[in-house]
Chain A
């Protein structure tokens, strides 16, 4: 992607000016970094005893890897259930029968506009009153992720199917397929394929959202980092930086995958 059409290729003076500007910008950024460095240094955030624990095997074994397993566990369960929810409700919303279509649309629109945290709180704090047992934090997180992301996925899948040429459906009917076969064998596979990049982006959203588990005490990565590592070594900032780096690494690789699938 190039935006070079927004400006003239610089001449000799322009090149000099750009170099001077680049120098100034670098200086400003360095100054900013320096201020942060000094302020953090005053609070001893760069002390070796705060960073070295992050390199220790037992810290990884006790906190980081279990946390990562918790995050990925909730994300995988969320992806599977939200995917299923999304497929079912996308198909239901495209049904020819109004008594299926209208409730499905209502459910999808409702869960799309309710914040995920409210769903998690509802499941976690309300479960005892509703079903007589306290559900685990994991179940509450997955419940929220499924309903919220599932309804977004339903819309993505539906948009994919609606974007297909009409001839696909007509041809399928012409070779004698039933309604169910047309949807299952012809439309859905193509619709999902068209929307793969959007689906992967939504899975990244889901993975990031699993960090809300911290608020109801689910042992995921952010929780293990801040309430586990930081509580033991009082190194909140280093732990937060490490955890952010892990999330960024996972998400950017998924993002690349989405781009490759789109190409």
Chain B
């Protein structure tokens, strides 16, 4: 226990990084995922093809590889520099990688949500004279969102756990700190592991409860 207590400030800093990675990537994935969903149902075949190719590539590539690719491809080779500070730059690169990966799952969830919206809803919208974007924005997507609150919650929880992989682009978050601590305080391996595990349980459990409650509240009565 003493290791966890003496190092509590660096542990909290590591978890703060985990939380920031999660929050930024969650927001990014929600936006990009919604855009991808709109593209996948768009009237233009080229848009649909581009979006569905993107989704299947991102979904089927290991996150480790996605993040390595963000670091090496986007960072080193495309020369994208988001900050002069290396740590900040790595943070943003990790967010890009996590967003690129997670948004594919958000898109899949939202698309299945669109499937739950009865055909008549879109038909009624069209008969009122709404165009494609209006139908999507005002009628079908809001209902789709309400249908997929619970799956989006699972995606957010998975994202929280996935932020640990950001260490491959040099972001020092909870998993890095745990590894360093196991090496320093070898005699307290179990306590250290349980401490870090508890941190994730504390992050993920309320999210699960919140999204369960939200999904019951927002469910569309049909």
Which residue of chain A has the shortest Cβ distance to B188 in the bound complex? Answer: A129
Q: Are A25 and B50 in contact (CB under 8 A)?
A: yes
Determine whether A204 belongs to the interface, using a CB cutoff of 8 Å to chain B: yes
Contact across chains for B77 and A125 when beta carbons are under 8 A apart: no
With contact pairs A214-B64, A244-B65, A248-B60 given, residues A130 and B179 touching in the complex (Cβ less than 8 Å)? no
Interface residues on B, range: 35 or more
Q: How many residues of A contact B (CB 8 A)?
A: 52
CB 8 Å contact bits of B149-164 with A (1 = contact, 0 = none): 0000000010001101
Q: How far is the CB of A174 from chain B (nearest CB, A)?
A: 36
Residues of chain A from 5 to 28 with CB closer than 8 A to chain B in the complex: 5-8, 10, 18, 21-22, 25-26
Expressed in whole angstroms, the minimum distance between the Cβ of A170 and any Cβ of chain B is 30
**Cβ A240 vs Cβ B65 within 8 A:** yes
Determine whether the beta carbon of A251 is less than 8 Å from that of B60.
Answer: yes
CA distance A208 to B175 in the complex (A): 19
Closest CB-CB distance, B96 to chain A, in whole Å?
Answer: 14
Tell whether, in the assembled complex, residue A126 and residue B193 are in contact, meaning their CB atoms are under 8 Å apart. Answer: yes
If A122-B189, A247-B65 touch, whether A117 touches B46 (CB-CB below 8 Å) is: no
CA distance A165 to B196 in the complex (A): 41
Residues of A within 8 A of B175 (CB): 115, 117-118, 121
Which residues of B line the A interface, CB within 8 A? 40-41, 43-47, 50, 56-57, 59-65, 68-69, 72-73, 76-79, 114-115, 119, 122-123, 126, 131-132, 135-136, 140, 157, 161-162, 164-165, 167-168, 174-175, 178-179, 182-183, 186-187, 189-190, 193, 196-197, 200-201, 204-205
Interface residues of A (CB under 8 A from B): 1, 3, 5-8, 10, 18, 21-22, 25-26, 29, 36, 39-40, 43, 45, 110, 113-118, 121-122, 125-126, 128-130, 204, 208-212, 214-215, 222, 226, 236-237, 240, 243-244, 247-248, 251-252, 255
